[in-house]
């Protein structure tokens, strides 16, 4: 709001923003870049208190960055530097100033809920749509992280909205609420902690602070803020990949850590029958990458705890429904133990599909379409159990296969298949073994990349232990940062890099173990 209202930058920024040429994030970074260079900036007292260097990889030296070689963060940092270098070839802005503003935004921005009438005052509604209070912890609103896109921000989870308009549903409230990313001087000085001492609220009507749409901190839960103790907030349930890339710190033994696995998009064009598989992937809305949170392991074949946590009923039902049709393939006995997202597995099934399986899918789909046409001509003719099964088969997937490549082309005005229907058909033809073998290969490749530059998980553990032992022997002690104990004898950047990459190796090893076991079961059951 301050950027759009600025007397000098405001008009042009508003025009670019309304035309969609830039987003709100870029406007904030642009504003910070310029305000820092203004000697008479009204924001100078605040800007002078902000840090000038950061711990995220964009500020790493070449030697520091080598500690991350083979990780997703390493590739993402290289890509971002490349993008910035191209941008600044045609710019008179100093790269260091822009880099500072970029880091200030991503390490401090919060995602804040406001009524639309506040964000867009020119279209104020005469009715009082003000929401009096938003209560929640900042948390990540973007969980997908990859070498192509590593973005996130501190957000707020709306736990409760008071003073709602009578008769307005939650869906329409969502439309009346605009989430604004911005800096909040004061609150943005709070560090992250898993056991946060405070949360924050938006005081819509100013009943608490006396200023409408202001923000304030309050004790989290039943805890009371203590004198001389640091006030921390939660940045959300983020893995070390996000924490390091965006904020420049990690948490040792992070319970929210995850590993990202992806099938390279450029490799798909080299697989057999690429055109048909590309159509199938599109029809299924298949995902070529997935995040594997540590928490998934609690529901797998080798749970971390001796007493396995009860898996989610919804997860089991969703997975079972994808197999629940009248084909010849039996439902796997291991289905409730698979920890890998079905969206990703269905993509791998399609990519791994062999020529004979394409023929099988083609024949199956042509028969389905033919039976479907006959069924609607005289529904009563198909009341036997066998016919009922064939009708169910059509309900699973209704496509027209014009060749053995199983092109997804409907005939006439026929309904195109849903993604669930296509997934079930491919499952019937392919089973799991091809997809799981491909998954094992991807995880093995990821482990090779992770270990190539820095060695094994045990090597990383040994480095951290040596640093701790050195502190003890030399009487340095250690320091606590963001809820983690960091040795003083090792630089923060190196310690963060080792903790992050060790976690990636550990999770890759554990998920590889899950995938290998699932593959053996699939092969033994003929799937």
Domain with 465 in it: what CATH number?
A: 3.90.1420.10
Mean pLDDT of 386-405: 40
- Grouping H, G, I as helix, E, B as strand and the rest as coil, residue 398 is coil
Same domain, 281 and 338: yes
What string of DSSP letters covers 457-505? HHHHHHHHHHHHHHHHHHT--EEEETTEEEETTS-HHHHHHHHHHHHHH
Q: What is the pLDDT of residue 134?
A: 39
Mean pLDDT of 419-445: 87
Residues 83-101: tens digit of each pLDDT: 777 666 556 677 888 899 9
Rounded to a whole number, what is the distance in angstroms from the first to the last CA of the chain?
A: 57
Question: In this structure, is residue 159 part of a structural domain?
Answer: no
Same domain, 357 and 503: yes
Q: What is the pLDDT of residue 141?
A: 35
Same domain, 466 and 335: yes
Same domain, 459 and 433: yes
Same domain, 261 and 372: yes
Q: The pTM is what? A: 0.77
Confidence of residue 508 (pLDDT cuts 50, 70, 90): very high
Confidence of residue 310 (pLDDT cuts 50, 70, 90): very low
- Given a cut of 70, is residue 114 above it in pLDDT? yes
Q: What is the pLDDT of residue 382?
A: 42
Question: In this structure, is residue 293 part of a structural domain?
Answer: yes
By C-alpha distance, which of 458, 457, 464 is closest to 70? 457
Same domain, 339 and 436: yes
What's the total number of domains in the chain? 2
Mean pLDDT of 45-60: 93
Same domain, 278 and 341: yes
Residues 332-348: tens digit of each pLDDT: 889 889 999 988 998 99
Same domain, 466 and 522: yes
Q: What is the pLDDT of residue 275?
A: 82
Is the C-alpha dihedral spanning 376, 378, 384, 386 positive or negative? negative
CB 499 within 8 A of CB 252: yes
Question: In this structure, is residue 501 part of a structural domain?
Answer: yes
Instruction: Quote the domain boundaries for residue 212.
Output: 111-121+176-191+193-234
Question: In this structure, is residue 8 part of a structural domain?
Answer: no
Higher-pLDDT residue of 186, 355? 186
Q: What is the pLDDT of residue 282?
A: 82
Question: In this structure, is residue 310 part of a structural domain?
Answer: no
- Given a cut of 90, is residue 284 above it in pLDDT? no
Same domain, 300 and 427: yes
Residue found by looking up tokens 């963001």 in the block: 482
Question: In this structure, is residue 441 part of a structural domain?
Answer: yes
Averaged pLDDT score across all residues of the chain: 76
Same domain, 228 and 337: no
Same domain, 197 and 331: no
Give the number of other Cβ atoms within 10 Å of residue 119's Cβ: 17
Instruction: Tokens for 25, please give them.
Output: 């994030």
Q: What is the pLDDT of residue 156?
A: 39
Same domain, 420 and 448: yes
Question: In this structure, is residue 222 part of a structural domain?
Answer: yes
Q: What is the pLDDT of residue 204?
A: 83
Question: In this structure, is residue 86 part of a structural domain?
Answer: no
């Amino acid at each position: 709001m301050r950027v759009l209202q600025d007397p000098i930058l405001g008009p042009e920024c508003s025009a670019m923003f309304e035309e969609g040429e830039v987003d709100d994030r870029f406007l904030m970074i642009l504003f910070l870049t310029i305000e820092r260079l203004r000697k008479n900036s009204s924001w100078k007292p605040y800007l002078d208190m902000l840090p000038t260097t950061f711990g995220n990889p964009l500020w790493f030296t070449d030697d520091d960055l080598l500690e991350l070689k083979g990780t997703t963060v390493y590739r993402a940092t290289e890509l971002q530097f490349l993008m910035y270098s191209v941008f600044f070839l045609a710019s008179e802005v100093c790269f260091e100033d822009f880099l500072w503003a970029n880091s200030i935004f991503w390490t401090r921005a919060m995602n804040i809920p406001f009524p639309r009438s506040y964000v867009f005052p020119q279209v104020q509604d005469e009715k009082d749509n003000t929401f009096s209070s938003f209560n929640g912890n900042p948390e990540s609103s973007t969980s997908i992280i990859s070498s192509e896109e590593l973005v996130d921000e501190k957000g707020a989870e709306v736990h409760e909205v008071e003073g709602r308009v009578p008769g307005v549903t939650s869906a329409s409230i969502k439309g009346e609420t605009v989430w604004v990313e911005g800096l909040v001087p004061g609150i943005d000085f709070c560090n992250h902690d898993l056991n946060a001492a405070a949360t924050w609220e938006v005081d819509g009507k100013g009943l608490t602070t006396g200023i409408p749409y202001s923000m304030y901190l309050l004790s989290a839960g039943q805890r009371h803020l203590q004198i001389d103790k640091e006030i921390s907030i939660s940045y959300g349930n983020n893995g070390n990949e996000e924490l390091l890339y965006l904020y420049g710190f990690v948490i040792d033994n992070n319970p929210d850590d995850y590993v990202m696995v992806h099938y390279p998009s450029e490799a798909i064009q080299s697989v057999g029958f690429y055109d048909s598989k590309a159509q199938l992937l599109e029809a299924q809305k298949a995902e070529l990458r997935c995040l594997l949170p540590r928490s998934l392991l609690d529901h797998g074949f080798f749970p971390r705890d001796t007493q396995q946590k009860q898996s989610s009923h919804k997860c089991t039902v969703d997975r079972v429904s994808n197999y629940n049709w009248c084909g010849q393939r039996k439902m796997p006995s291991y289905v409730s133990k698979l920890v890998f997202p079905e969206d990703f597995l269905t993509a791998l099934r399609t990519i791994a599909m062999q020529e004979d399986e394409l023929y099988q899918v083609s024949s199956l789909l042509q028969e389905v379409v033919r039976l479907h046409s006959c069924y609607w001509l005289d529904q009563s003719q198909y009341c036997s159990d066998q016919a009922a099964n064939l009708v169910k088969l059509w309900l699973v997937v209704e496509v027209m296969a014009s060749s053995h490549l199983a092109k997804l082309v409907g005939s006439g005005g026929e309904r195109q298949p849903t993604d669930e229907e296509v997934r079930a058909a491919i499952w019937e033809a392919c089973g799991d073994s091809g997809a799981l073998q491909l998954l094992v290969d991807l995880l093995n490749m990821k482990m090779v990349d992770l270990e190539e530059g820095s060695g094994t998980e045990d090597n990383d553990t040994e480095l951290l232990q040596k640093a701790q032992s050195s502190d003890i022997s030399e009487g340095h002690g250690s320091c606590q940062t963001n809820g983690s104990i960091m040795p003083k004898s090792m630089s923060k950047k190196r310690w963060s890099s080792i903790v992050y990459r060790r976690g990636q190796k550990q999770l890759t090893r554990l998920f590889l173990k899950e995938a290998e076991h699932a593959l053996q079961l699939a092969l033994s059951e003929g799937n």
